[in-house]
């Protein structure tokens, strides 16, 4: 069951359906999707999510539980907090993303995890600990991308910042404009 839950395809851009089948066969068969865990399996997943030590496992289990039972705001907060914890652990050098040798959080994986934490925050309240930490982390990573002059991470985290109204749009635009003027190679449209 854990293999099936952790093997689902993570699609954070799909707000209402962030996990899909990793494999779909031509004959109609497929790998697991969240709906497969309705009923008694949901209680087992919830129990495991509340006790999981590793943030990656805790985030996935809690998020699937919340998707299947939207009244469980505590489990939603747990998922959001776990997503942020993953990014913080990558930043601290305690974890790295799959297929990545360095511990830099300025990656699309971090952007996607923070996007999901913020999506959950829209539903349960942006001032809850997980979503609030996600907002802070997005601001930090946006500023770091600007400091390091990395155009793609600047684009990712500036868009994330604007999408979730974390910073004042004028501030983000001013930062981008100043960078474009100073470093013409960093110009992009926000």
pLDDT digits (tens, 9 = 90+) for 117-127: 999 999 999 88
Measured CA to CA, the distance from residue 116 to residue 134 in angstroms comes to 9
How sure is the predictor about 101, in pLDDT bands with cuts at 50, 70 and 90? confident
N- to C-terminal Cα distance for the chain? 42
Taking only the tens place, the pLDDT of each residue in 159-177 is 999 999 998 888 888 777 6
How sure is the predictor about 181, in pLDDT bands with cuts at 50, 70 and 90? very low
Contact 6, 45 (CB under 8 A): no
Q: Over pLDDT 90: what percentage of the chain?
A: 77
Tally of helices (H runs) and strands (E runs) in the chain: 8, 2
* 13-16 contacts at long range (C-beta below 8 A, 24 or more positions apart): 13/115, 15/119
Q: Which residue has the higher pLDDT, 156 or 183?
A: 156
Torsion angle of alpha carbons 28, 33, 35, 37, nearest 10°? Answer: 120
Q: Check pLDDT > 60 for residue 188.
A: no
Nearest CA to 41 out of 71, 5, 81 is that of: 5
Mean pLDDT throughout 105-121?
A: 96
Q: Check pLDDT > 60 for residue 44.
A: yes
How sure is the predictor about 71, in pLDDT bands with cuts at 50, 70 and 90? confident
Contact 76, 66 (CB under 8 A): yes
Average per-residue pLDDT in the chain? 90
Q: Which residue has the higher pLDDT, 84 or 187?
A: 84
Q: According to the model, what pLDDT value does residue 30 have? A: 95
CA distances from 165 to 118, 136, 160, 170 (A): 10, 12, 8, 11
Q: According to the model, what pLDDT value does residue 170 have? A: 86
> Residue 80 corresponds to which tokens in the numbers above?
């959001």
Residue-range domain boundaries for the chain: 2-186
How sure is the predictor about 190, in pLDDT bands with cuts at 50, 70 and 90? very low
Spatial neighbors of 143 by CB under 8 A, at least 6 apart, are none
């Amino acid at each position: 069951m854990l293999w099936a839950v952790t093997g689902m395809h993570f699609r954070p851009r799909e707000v209402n359906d962030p996990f899909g089948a990793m494999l779909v066969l031509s004959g109609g068969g497929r790998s697991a999707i969240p709906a497969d865990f309705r009923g008694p399996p949901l209680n087992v997943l919830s129990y495991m999510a509340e006790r999981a030590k590793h943030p990656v496992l805790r985030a996935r289990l809690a998020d699937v539980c919340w998707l299947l039972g939207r009244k469980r705001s505590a489990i939603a907060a747990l998922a959001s907090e776990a997503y942020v914890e993953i990014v913080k652990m990558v930043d601290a050098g305690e974890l790295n993303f799959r297929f990545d040798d360095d511990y830099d959080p300025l990656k699309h994986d971090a952007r996607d995890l923070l996007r999901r934490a913020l999506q959950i925050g829209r539903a349960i309240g942006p001032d809850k600990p997980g979503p609030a930490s996600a907002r802070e982390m997005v601001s930090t990573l946006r500023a770091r991308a600007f400091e390091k002059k990395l155009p793609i991470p600047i684009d990712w985290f500036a868009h994330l910042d604007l999408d979730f109204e974390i910073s004042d749009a004028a501030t983000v635009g001013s930062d981008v404009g100043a960078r474009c003027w100073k470093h013409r190679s960093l110009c992009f449209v926000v």
